Amino acid sequence: MQNFPAGLSKAEIDRVRNELQTKTARLTSPELEEILYKPFPVLDHGFIRVTDYMGTDASIVQAARVSYGVGTKKVQEDQSLINYLMRHQHTTPFEMCEIKLHIKLPIFVARHWLRHRTASVNEYSARYSILSGEFYLPEISQLAQQSETNKQGKSSREFNRADADEVVNILEKFCEDARESYSHMLNDLSLARELARIVLPVAVYTEMYWKIDLHNLMHFLKLRSSPNAQYEIRCYANIILEILKKWLPFTYEAFVNYKQDAVFVSKKSADLIKRMLRGEKIVWEESGLSKGEWQEFKTTFELKD
Q: Domain coordinates of the chain in residue numbers?
A: 10-136+203-260, 139-202, 267-300
Percent helix, strand and coil across the chain, each to the nearest 5: 50, 10, 35
* Under 8 Å between Cβ of 259 and 218: yes
The count of residues in the chain is 305
| E strand or H helix that includes residue 145 | none
pTM to 2 decimals?
Answer: 0.86
Catalytic residue among 49, 179, 197, 224: 224
CA dihedral 59, 61, 62, 64 (to 10 degrees): 120
To the question of domain 10-136+203-260 being in CATH 3.40.50.2300, the answer is no
**Alpha-carbon span 43 to 243, nearest angstrom:** 17
Question: Tell me, what's the pLDDT at 1?
Answer: 35
User: What's the confidence (pLDDT) of residue 3?
Assistant: 44
pLDDT at residue 150, as a whole number: 65
H/E element holding 245? helix 231-247
* Residue 117 annotated to the active site: no
Q: Is the dihedral of CA 199, 204, 208, 213 positive or negative?
A: positive
Write phi, then psi, for 139 (nearest 5 degrees): -70, 150
Nearest to 172 by CA among 208, 134, 145: 134
Identity of the residue numbered 103: I
Mean per-residue pLDDT pooled into runs of 10, the chain (305 residues) = 50 68 80 93 96 94 74 73 94 96 96 93 91 90 77 72 91 95 95 94 95 97 93 97 97 95 91 92 89 90 83
d(CA 21, CA 8): 18
Confidence (pLDDT) at 2 = 40
236-264: string of b/e by CB count within 10 Å (b at 16+)? bbebbbebbebbbbbbbbbbbebeeeeee
Phi and psi at 253, nearest 5°, equal -65, -40
